[in-house]
């Protein structure tokens, strides 16, 4: 039961973590591109934020299902083989008979 719990936690961490990092990178680069190449670049922080937010939201819509699928696969395989922290099998200590 403990391995299943930690596998689920790792699924959440991998999926949401990857999606958050990817969305942040895409959003920041979109805001930077809009500033450099646009005829009407964002003038305030709020306008730049809106450009980045829209790009990050589109990234999540487009690639979110892949991040969740990869997170599920990586967490499942890592849990089954005991690769991820908290998912290693615990072996009972041998009875010494003393």
Task: For residues 12-34, give the mean pLDDT.
Answer: 92
Residue 96, domain member (yes or no) = no
Residue 43, domain member (yes or no) = yes
Range of the domain at 51: 2-80
Give the number of domains in the chain: 1
Q: Note the pTM of the prediction, 2 decimals.
A: 0.75
Residue 87, domain member (yes or no) = no
For residue 62, the model assigns a pLDDT of 95
Residue 93, domain member (yes or no) = no
Q: How far is CA 97 from CA 12, 93, 94, in A?
A: 43, 12, 9
Q: Is the pLDDT of residue 92 over 80?
A: no
Question: What percent of the chain shows pLDDT beyond 90?
Answer: 47
Higher pLDDT, 96 or 52: 52
For residue 97, the model assigns a pLDDT of 67
């Amino acid at each position: 039961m403990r391995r299943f719990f930690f596998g689920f936690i790792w699924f959440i961490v991998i999926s949401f973590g990857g999606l958050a990092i990817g969305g942040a990178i895409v959003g920041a680069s979109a805001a930077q591109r809009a500033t450099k190449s646009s005829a009407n670049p964002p003038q305030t922080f709020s306008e730049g934020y809106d450009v980045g937010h829209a790009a990050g939201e589109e990234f999540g819509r487009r690639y979110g299902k892949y991040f969740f699928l990869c997170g599920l696969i990586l967490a499942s395989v890592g849990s089954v083989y005991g690769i991820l922290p908290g998912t290693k099998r615990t072996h009972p200590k041998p009875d010494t008979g003393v």
